[in-house]
Amino acid sequence: MNVTIADQTAFLAFWLCFSRWVAVLFQLPLFDNVAVPNLVKVLASFVISFAFFPELRGTLVAEINMVGTNNIWMLVMFHTTTGLIIGFLVKSIMSLFVAAGSLLTQQIGFASVSYFDPTQGQQIGPFERLIEWTMIILILTSGALVPMFKGVFESFYSVNFLNSDKLLKTPEYFVLFFKSAFSASVLLAGPLIFANLLMNLVMGIVARTIPQMNVLMVSFVVNIGLGLLLFLGISEEFFQVSFDLYVQKLGDWFQFLSR
């Protein structure tokens, strides 16, 4: 069976569209899980590219006409790299919740126990997994993924080969983005960090007052118990603040891509 391409330019334009979408989707939560087969990721990227391609065809064809079909590899590299950057920024927004969970795990004392998640292929604590999956459920059920897809769609117009120097002209955005992500992680873990500091102070006083007590073993149990009770008490507010932070960071990301 012979397969012929009736419109080479349209085929190449679709390939460029697919190159950016697949680079973005491979890094999104759920898709970055090793339990999801690569075939499913590729097919999902193909379907999404097919859905958005009719609206994007004009700008992609204009890029091809500018560089020529013989230099299509330049456009493939550009769109793939742009997709990797955009997807990494989206993944970084979710990473701030994982970082907050890691801080909680460290402060409570679970860090002394090694956890290995085969679906992620890395060590991960209980709070990281709890916070990550709770945030994913909140995002999926609230429709917060719509701005993300709209942002990637708009990026084909705002970040294309015709103005490829846009990402290079805005390094301050990336500095502020990662700085704010770090500060947000510390903010989310702040209550437990303060509680742990207060508990260590109390245990230090107890150690000086009752030297015969094994303060190390007592503090280990108290830190875990108090940490779990404190997180139980603040969990509703914690996830509300986390969701607000996600929406805010996603809005900043969307404004960066759309301007």
Residue pLDDT, tens place only, 220-256: 777 777 878 888 888 888 888 888 888 888 777 777 7
Q: What pLDDT was estimated at residue 4?
A: 54
**pTM recorded for the entire structure:** 0.75
Contact (Cβ atoms closer than 8 angstroms) between residue 160 and residue 29: no
Q: What pLDDT was estimated at residue 256?
A: 74
User: Rounded to whole angstroms, how far apart are CA atoms 109 and 253?
Assistant: 34
Mean confidence (pLDDT) of the chain: 78
Which residues sit opposite 123 in a β-bridge?
116
Angle, CA of 135, 27 and 76, to the nearest 5°: 150
Amino acid 36 reads V
